[in-house]
Each structure stands twice: as structure tokens, then as C-alpha cells.
Amino acid sequence: MKSDAEDLMPRLLPVEDYDVEDFDPSIPPRNPQEYLRQVQLEAAKCPDVVVAQIDPKKLQKRQTVNVSLSTCQPAPDGYSPSLKWQQIQVANFSAVRQSVVKHRAHWQAQALDENVMMPKVEDDEGWKKFCLGENVYFRRSAIQDVTNEEMGIDYVKVGFPPLLSIVSRLNQSVITQVLEYLITWFEEEEFSPELGRWMYALLACIEKPLLPEVHSLIRQLARHCAAVRARLENKDDERLSALNLLICLVARYFEQNDLADKE
């Protein structure tokens, strides 16, 4: 009843041996031992090697292959920061992350202002409006929205800043989702200071080691920052410093060294 292959393989489950007269594989098993023995016999009939029959004609058709660059576009001459500048930014960012961890519990216990209504995690458009403000979302001018000191600032229009009392309430799942929403926005729209502040804050709250989806997202962010930087018309563009900072943090702090600006 035993094959050569069966003799060489370890027995994962104890199965009592049955004489031919006592065991009939053609009838339903009467107990667990007979069931396991029947499974063994069926497995022994399977070939060790199976060759798939592939029609070569199907492989001759033209196929579309999408290739994405894994590294950042190099910065134009004079646009990339020095290594010393990058080291300073990484040190400052590390201090910010330590402060967030230290004070997270305190800020979680603080009550939010009544006007702070955080969207549900699945509300893509709601988070974009919450972080960036309706002015950026609807591409309106913010000049008329900063009122006098008595009225204060309309955060619905200019966006809620990433205060510790807000970001401390976001778990890693929500942080990842919001980061994805904002990166998608960044790839479709212009970079803005509001976007930069939230990107920095979310990166400061990401826990290490990185989850695979977070790893992919931050690399996507750095690559797009580099692509936008390559299109800047001059070194005085106010976006340059922020773009360099995000690339630096992804590459240097989160150890995506192949994306780093080389001196």
C-alpha cells in the first residue's frame, strides 16, 4: 500500500496502517483514520511534476507594460541641498518625532474646539478640505478670508493646521489613509504651504518599522517632489525648500537612500 515517495516523506499525522481486506478506498470512509488514509492514497496518485500546456500563439500578441521609475529625478544644477543641510533637517525632524511620542497622551486627552470636525476615514474629499481648506480645494483666493482679530480665522476656508491635539488622535491606519489622499491631491494639483505642513506632520507621526503600504507611499511622495522640483523655473521659487525637505526626510530619515540628493 505504500509508495516509494511515501516512505521518504515524514508523516505529519499519525495514520494507522490498514490491511487490504480491512480498507476499501472505493467506499466512503467510516472514521477519521480511514479518511486520512484515503487522502494519502489520492495524493500518492498525483504526479510529482506537472507541465502546463501553453499556446505559444497567445504570447505573440503585443502586451502593454507599465514601467515606473524607482528613483528620483535628479535635481537641476544648484537646486539640491547640501549634505550638511540635510543632516540638520533630519536631526530637527527626529526631535519633533520624539516630542510627538512624548506628548501624544497629553494631547489626546485635550478637548478639541467645537469647530474642529474631523471627517470619517473613508471621506476622501472631506479630508482634503479639512487639511487644505476650501480656498485651496476650490482654488479660491484667501485674501478675503482672513478677517479682523475679533472675528479670527475661518479654518474651514484656510484649512485646519496639523495641531498636536488633532494629529495625536489619528491612529496609523488613518494617518496612512490621509497621507494617500494628500499625495493623490499633490499629483493632480499644485503644491501649497498647507499641503507641505500636513505632509511634514503626518511623516512625523508615522511609526517605524514602516508598513509596506507606507513604504510605497512615502517613496511615491519623494519621487513626485523631485518631478515637481525638476520643473521649477528658478531657484527662488518658494516651493523649492519644502520639496527638498520632503525628499530629504523620506530618503535620509526613513532610509530610502536611493532617493537621496547626492552632494
Tell me the backbone φ, ψ of residue 138, rounded to 5 degrees: -100, 10
pLDDT over 90 (residue 145): no
CA atoms within 13 A on the CB side of 18: 19
Residues 243-251 have a mean pLDDT of 97
Which range has the worst mean pLDDT, 104-108, 164-168, 200-204? 104-108
Q: What is the pLDDT of residue 52?
A: 77
d(CA 179, CA 167): 12
CA distance 142 to 158: 7
pLDDT mean over 159-172: 93
Q: How far apart are CA 181 and CA 120, in angstroms?
A: 13
Range 251-262 average pLDDT:
94
| 85 compared with 114, residue with greater pLDDT | 85
Which pLDDT score, from 0 to 100, does residue 112 have? 84
CA distances from 188 to 179, 183, 191, 225, 227 (A): 14, 9, 10, 12, 13
Domain boundaries, given as residue ranges, for the chain: 4-44, 83-112+168-259
Q: What is the pLDDT of residues 35-90, one digit of tens each?
A: 888 887 887 788 877 777 777 766 655 555 444 446 789 999 999 999 999 999 99
Q: Angle 212-230/172-188 helices, nearest 10 degrees?
A: 30
Residue 250: DSSP 8-state? I
| Model confidence at 169: pLDDT above 60 | yes
Q: pLDDT for 191-244, tens place per residue?
A: 999 999 999 999 999 999 999 999 999 999 999 999 999 999 999 999 999 999
- CATH class for the domain made up of 83-112+168-259: mainly alpha
pLDDT score of 26: 77
Is 186:195 a contact under the CB 8 Å cutoff?
A: yes
pLDDT of residue 150: 44
User: In terms of Cα–Cα distance, which of 197, 187, 120 is closest to 158?
Assistant: 197
Q: Rounded CA gap, 132 and 194, in Å?
A: 5
Q: Is the pTM of this model over 0.75?
A: no
The 3-state DSSP class for residue 176 equals helix
CB 263 within 8 A of CB 78: no
Q: How confident is the model at residue 31 (pLDDT cuts 50, 70, 90)?
A: confident
